Amino acid sequence: MSKKIFFSGVQPSGKPHIGNYFGAMKQFVDLQNEYDGYAFIVDYHALHSLRNPKEMSENIKNVLLDYLAIGLDPEKVTLAKQSDVSEHTELCWIFDTVITMPFLMRAHAYKDAEAKNKEIDVGTFNYPVLMAADILLYGTDIVPVGADQKQHVEIARDIAEKFNNTYGQTFKLPEHMIMKEVAVVPGTDGRKMSKSYNNTIPLFAEYEEIKKCVMGIVTDSSEGIPKNVYAIHKLVRDEKELEKIYTEKTGKYKELKELLIEDLEKFIAPLRENRKEFAKDIPKALAILKAGGEKAKKVAEAKMEEVREKIGVNIYEK
């Protein structure tokens, strides 16, 4: 029996943080033995916020090293970048013609941008459609993501249904996979950890950086147990142990932060070392990415043939 399929992606928009890891990337590793996986670097998605070519190239390589360093095995999971598989953007266009503007205007990301009165580029508006193409091209069963992507996976399902209703059964409806405890990993200020809030702890931070981030965690002197420290701490230490420690050290914020620094260091140090090893041979890492793109492209091409057939543009004799 063939394995089920997972697909997910990370934007090369900066350094991944522990929110990306616990919310999504860790699940890619956990699923890789049971599922046929696709872990993409979604560089075309990142274009809406990153328009510096040098930084783009660097970030792509960085996410690749991050994927390898967390333990993704390219024999089990296809590591690829979106721009190597042009079928993603092709399918995006076809989807654009079956869905409506009011449907996309309900997307949170668009509404947030609009509320901030930003000049919204069409790519930002269309972001969920490209994401639907990413997911649907591969017959995806599950999409491991953080809670902020839930609506996007729902939109992908709606688009698949809309296409299937118009042209006949073509796309499988994917499910999101969101782990309850880490659906929204909080940052150092208690809000969702996010590059745009400047409240992150980078996944491959060096010791001094970890220290700086943890010392910067916002605490309120009226609370016995510093909730922002605890919320991050429980990612890297068993909660039963933590409850005991935090009760014993009520009010001792500095000590608790120092303990968190040590626990984060224990967790991050081996990942950091792994990453340094992979970084020694960039050509080898790039060859993995290129081969992954070629493998993904074969699957995507076959699906696009079916799509072209369904919409009636395949008119040549075979």
In the complex, the smallest distance separating the C-beta of residue 74 from ligand TYM, rounded to whole angstroms, is 19
Closer to ligand TYM by Cβ: residue 134 or 263 = 134
In the complex, the smallest distance separating the C-beta of residue 236 from ligand TYM, rounded to whole angstroms, is 15
Closer to ligand TYM by Cβ: residue 148 or 209 = 148
What count of residues does the chain have? Answer: 318
**Residue pointed to by tokens 């076809």:** 94
Closer to ligand TYM by Cβ: residue 42 or 280 = 42
Residue 146: Cβ within 10 Å count: 22
C-alpha–C-alpha distance, residues 253 and 243, integer Å: 14
Closer to ligand TYM by Cβ: residue 177 or 279 = 177
- Of 50, 79, 51, which Cα lies nearest the Cα of 63? 79
In the complex, the smallest distance separating the C-beta of residue 24 from ligand TYM, rounded to whole angstroms, is 3
C-alpha–C-alpha distance, residues 162 and 165, integer Å: 5
Closer to ligand TYM by Cβ: residue 140 or 304 = 140
In the complex, the smallest distance separating the C-beta of residue 143 from ligand TYM, rounded to whole angstroms, is 5
In the complex, the smallest distance separating the C-beta of residue 11 from ligand TYM, rounded to whole angstroms, is 4
Closer to ligand TYM by Cβ: residue 153 or 210 = 153
Tell me which residues touch ligand TYM (CB under 6 A).
7-11, 19-20, 23-24, 42, 45, 131, 134-135, 143, 145-146, 148-149, 152, 182, 184-185, 192-194
Nearest residue to ligand TYM by CB is: 23
In the complex, the smallest distance separating the C-beta of residue 48 from ligand TYM, rounded to whole angstroms, is 10
In the complex, the smallest distance separating the C-beta of residue 124 from ligand TYM, rounded to whole angstroms, is 11
Closer to ligand TYM by Cβ: residue 160 or 185 = 185
